[in-house]
Amino acid sequence: MARKKKEKKKKTGRSWKITLLLFFLMILISGAILLTLDGRHVQFRLVGGQEITVPFGVDYVDPGRSAVTVGRILGPGSLVLPVETSGYVNTRVKGTYELEYSARFLFDTYTAKRIVHVEDITPPVITLQHQEGYEPSWFTGGYQEEGYLAWDDCDGNLTDYVQVEVLEDRIEYRVSDSAGNETVAERELTAVKQPELTLLGDTYMSVDASLTFEDPGFTARDGKGRDISPLVTVEGEVIPYRPGAYELVYSLTNGIETLSVTRTVEVKAVEIPDAVLPGEKTIYLTFDDGPGPYTKQLLDLLAIYGVKATFFVTAEHPEYEDLIGRAYREGHTIGVHTTSHDFYKIYASEEAYMEDFYAMEEIIHSQTGEYTRLFRFAGGSSNTVSQFNPGIMTRLIALTGDLGYQYYDWNVDSDDAGGTKTSTGVVTNVTAGCAERHVSLVLMHDTKDYSVQAVEQIIIWGQQNGYTFRALNLSSPSSHHVIKN
């Protein structure tokens, strides 16, 4: 009985195993049938598509891929399968590359491919350079290029191929690479203000002829208000002692553009007052070539007698120049003779003469505080030494007349610069010459001691014979010699 129970129990266990095996077998068969009917396979999902283009020179990064199973009946599965990638993309070399993706499902391996095109699709880069502290200036013609660079990852340095176009308010820089990619950069331009050039005084001036002309001047400022007057050039010249119309042109230039303003200066001749003949017999004592070592003695003597005289002065004895001031303060007339008394220097040209003349006027002004309008030509207007420059005396007479200067020759010559070397001879020559005239202009030299010693006797003789001694002025009668040049 026990044996039968044991065999029955064993038979029952074997039956369950068979049943369970049959159940799993049915499940497997059913699954296989289902899979066959479902057609389940691997499906790849490629982000970006099966064919993509990537830029040259940029490291390749796969945009993404995944693999899942999918069937007709059961649809897509939820399990993401591992995906392996084979192939390589070299973005440093343009071309077409193939990548293969693979995934396993059940007993099969599934694959997908992606085509990658490496192309130059990146435009060049233009870098605009800036110089520290630079600011555009009108004097450099406005903005001056600070520089630029152009670089392309594929073609390299493209700086030499940049096209630059200067527009009103900006500069455009344009460059293309070999693939046709174009880049445009812009530099903003700030308008550069022109300098301001302004004349001081009037644009038209009318001045009397004189030895000097003082330009009223000008102001010049750049676009930021800074003084740029030293950069102004002045063209033209005013010859102040020669009547006429002159133009002075004041200019600023940057080599491309020039700003200029013009001043017109009209130099007009100065009128000389008409001569007035004195009613009484008159002697004008005039002394040339001083002051010198005997001038003080002469001034002392003239002061004693209350006689006024005329001194046509030079700078030959600068140690005595202070006597010019003394003579002026004591009521004597000061006139220009010459600074150097060098005939060949002063009569070389009008300009040379006026330079010498002006130098003497400055000395007179320094001693008296005033300029004179009286003068005597070195050698007199009739001198022949100047004939090495034909016509110079005629031209100088006209020129100095336009300046309003009156020149004085003489009609009585003491001959103290000639053959007469004694005071007695000087007295004789002067008194004899004056006795024949109502008005006498006497030539003497205060650089001659014997001539100075003769003055007292001449004064006494003149006073005894009804003569008045006067100093010259612009209204005094002048004695002009016959011009020989």
Residue 278, judged by CB atoms within 10 A of its CB (0-12, 13-18, 19+), counts as middle
Residue 436, judged by CB atoms within 10 A of its CB (0-12, 13-18, 19+), counts as exposed
- Other C-beta atoms within 10 Å of 28: how many? 10
Q: What is the CA radius of gyration of the chain?
A: 58
Whole-number Å distance between alpha carbons of 11 and 277: 183
Would you state the structure tokens that stand for residue 298, as one six-digit string?
């002469």
Whole-number Å distance between alpha carbons of 485 and 483: 6
Q: Helices 322-329 and 295-305, interaxial angle, to 10°?
A: 10
Q: 152, 222, 288, 413: which is the annotated catalytic residue?
A: 288
Whole-number Å distance between alpha carbons of 109 and 385: 129
Would you state the structure tokens that stand for residue 379, as one six-digit string?
């050698």
- Looking at residue 339, the DSSP 8-state letter turns out to be S
* Known catalytic residue at 227: no
- Looking at residue 437, the DSSP 8-state letter turns out to be -
Considering only CA atoms, which of 409, 293, 280, 402 is closest in space to residue 350?
A: 402
Collect all residues with Cβ–Cβ distance below 8 Å to 386 and sequence separation of at least 6: 343, 347, 379, 392, 393, 485
Q: 356, 409, 445, 446: which is the annotated catalytic residue?
A: 445
* Known catalytic residue at 415: no
Task: Answer whether 195's CB lies under 8 Å from 181's CB.
Answer: no
Give the residue numbers marked as catalytic: 288, 445
